[in-house]
Amino acid sequence: MKHPPLPWQDVPAPVLSPTLRALVEKLAADVGRLNRSITDAVLAISDYRHAADPMLTSEVERMVCINTDMWYQALLHRRSPSDEQLEQISVLAGRRVHQGVSLPGLLRAYRMAQRDYWTTLLDRAGQDGALHSELLFQVSPYLIHHFDMLSQVMAWAWNAEQSQHERWRDRLRSELWTVISVRPDDTEAFRSQTEALGIDPTVSVCAIALRVPSPGQQATRMEEAVHRVMLEVGRITGSESETIMRTLHRGSLLLWLPAGHGEMLLEHVRRINSHAGEIARRLTQVAAVGVGLPGSGPRGWRLSAEQAVKSADGRDAADREATPVCYSDVALYDIVGTSDNVKRYFDALIERLTIEPHLLETLTTFFELKQHRKAVAGALNVHPNTLAYRLERIEQILSADLSDMTWLSKLHTALRIRRRD
């Protein structure tokens, strides 16, 4: 891994007085204690403490030793870090990406190390005013320069590795989406891709479709928009955004959110619907949100995605409320609408009522007010007897029974399909 060119000679290492040189030589000869102290402090940082990689401790020890050696060599021999040392630092900094150490965590660890190097010098100087003056006016400017240069190396290496890692994850997501959408019977490829992304292939997922308006033709702008959305989604769901499977499809950003450990299906649906509502409220740039039902395996993932997209597509464009459309609320009407002969039957029910338009208005109000006849009569501004006559007339025309739940369901479904058309 290459490192960026750095102006090491802009601030030359100081020429130490004999007294300070002798002090630094003693510190360099007994560096083990300082290295252990720094290593313990770094491993106590949250990012490091929660990392699961068993190699992390030994890598931190190695990083500390390399930096200590560079620091003392710079003071004693006015020697800038070698390319080999910088390469070692770069590789170890890049490794932190895969160990779950954030860039702020990495740089915090380095700031702690440089603080310890400096306070060790000050402590050994004791009450010697001349040494304190030399450290303050001659050594500290170089110390700031030295650590700034190395911070740049580590930040550059971490960002380079993070970019490469994200490109790799994007490729895996693309390949997984191909399996889901094109080869849903290829369960082996599905298992391989999900596991590579750190996703349990057996877990049930709910898909969410976010209608994200395109910010323009430039791909980088769309990537930035998706990145901002994913950061907020991560905060809402309590997940690391990079661990969420996502893809762009038909103008929607598709996400698949897994069930929690031991979570029942209905609990999973309620939780994801709640997250979707929060996403709709917080992300004003999202025009519509649709939520599918849980599914597992490649076919289940695809079906949930299709339901989420259909739900987002079905949202009334004039509805400006920040509410998602959940497929669980529209499943019955969608199933009816996808069968031509079934849809024709339900359309025919409504068509029979259009010969007397006030009957259609009466039936619509009857369902909107949950069959409360007094409220329906008031909303229609008619006498209760008139309402009773109209309802009887509906029953007569359709040979229906409005006290029968089956007929109520059929008529309610027919009205919903008519509104969607």
Are 253 and 374 members of one domain? no
Are 20 and 131 members of one domain? yes
Asked whether 47 and 102 are in contact (CB, 8 A), the reply is: yes
Is the CA virtual torsion 208, 214, 219, 221 positive or negative? negative
pLDDT value, residue 116: 93
Domain total in the chain: 3
pLDDT value, residue 321: 57
Distance CA 42, CA 49 (A): 9
Are 416 and 270 members of one domain? no
- The b-or-e profile of 172-198 (16+ CB within 10 A means b, else e) is bbeebbebbbeebeeeebbbbbbeebe
What's the rounded mean pLDDT across residues 123-140? 92
pLDDT value, residue 317: 41
Angle at 118 between CA 72 and CA 29, to 5 degrees: 35
Does 194 map to a domain? no
pLDDT value, residue 216: 57
Exposed/middle/buried for residue 142 (C-beta within 10 Å: 0-12, 13-18, 19+): middle
Are 22 and 156 members of one domain? yes
Q: How far is CA 115 from the centre of its chain?
A: 35
Are 286 and 372 members of one domain? no
Does 247 map to a domain? yes
Are 322 and 356 members of one domain? no
Are 294 and 387 members of one domain? no
**CATH value at residue 386:** 1.10.10.2840
Percentage of residues of the chain with pLDDT beyond 90: 64
Are 15 and 128 members of one domain? yes
Please give the structure tokens belonging to residue 46.
């949250």
Residue 411 has pLDDT above 80, yes or no: yes
Are 51 and 78 members of one domain? yes
Domain end, chosen from 119, 144, 166, is at 166
Average the pLDDT over each of 5-9, 108-112, 279-283, 284-288 and give the range with the smallest value. Answer: 5-9
**CATH value at residue 32:** 1.10.490
Are 78 and 222 members of one domain? no
The pTM of the full predicted model, rounded to 2 decimals, is 0.69
Residue 2 has pLDDT above 70, yes or no: no
- Classified as helix, coil or strand, 258 is strand
What's the rounded mean pLDDT across residues 114-121? 93
The sheet that has 325-326: what strands, in order across it? 245-249, 252-258, 205-211, 288-291, 325-326
| Residue 152: pLDDT band with limits 50, 70, 90 | very high
Does 185 map to a domain? no
**CATH value at residue 287:** 3.30.70.260
Does 401 map to a domain? yes
Q: Please report which helix (H) or strand (E) contains residue 208, including its range.
A: strand 205-211
Average the pLDDT over each of 99-113, 332-346, 364-378 and give the range with the smallest value. Answer: 332-346
Does 311 map to a domain? yes
Please give the structure tokens belonging to residue 145.
């320069």
Are 261 and 221 members of one domain? yes
Are 312 and 343 members of one domain? no
**pLDDT tens digits along 283-330:** 888 889 999 999 999 999 999 999 999 898 876 443 445 688 898 888
Does 2 map to a domain? no
pLDDT value, residue 318: 38
Q: What is the mean pLDDT of the chain?
A: 89
**pLDDT tens digits along 153-165:** 999 999 999 999 9
- Residue 193, phi then psi, degrees to nearest 5: -70, -40
Residue 33 has pLDDT above 80, yes or no: yes
Does 79 map to a domain? yes
Q: Which residue has the higher pLDDT, 113 or 328?
A: 113
**pLDDT tens digits along 213-257:** 765 555 567 788 888 899 899 999 988 888 899 999 988 999 999
CA nearest 92: which of 29, 161, 41, 138? Answer: 161
Does 186 map to a domain? no
Distance CA 9, CA 69 (A): 19
CA nearest 64: which of 94, 42, 79, 82? Answer: 42
Owning domain of residue 260: 204-329
CA nearest 314: which of 301, 331, 302, 294? Answer: 331
Domain end, chosen from 329, 353, 381, is at 329
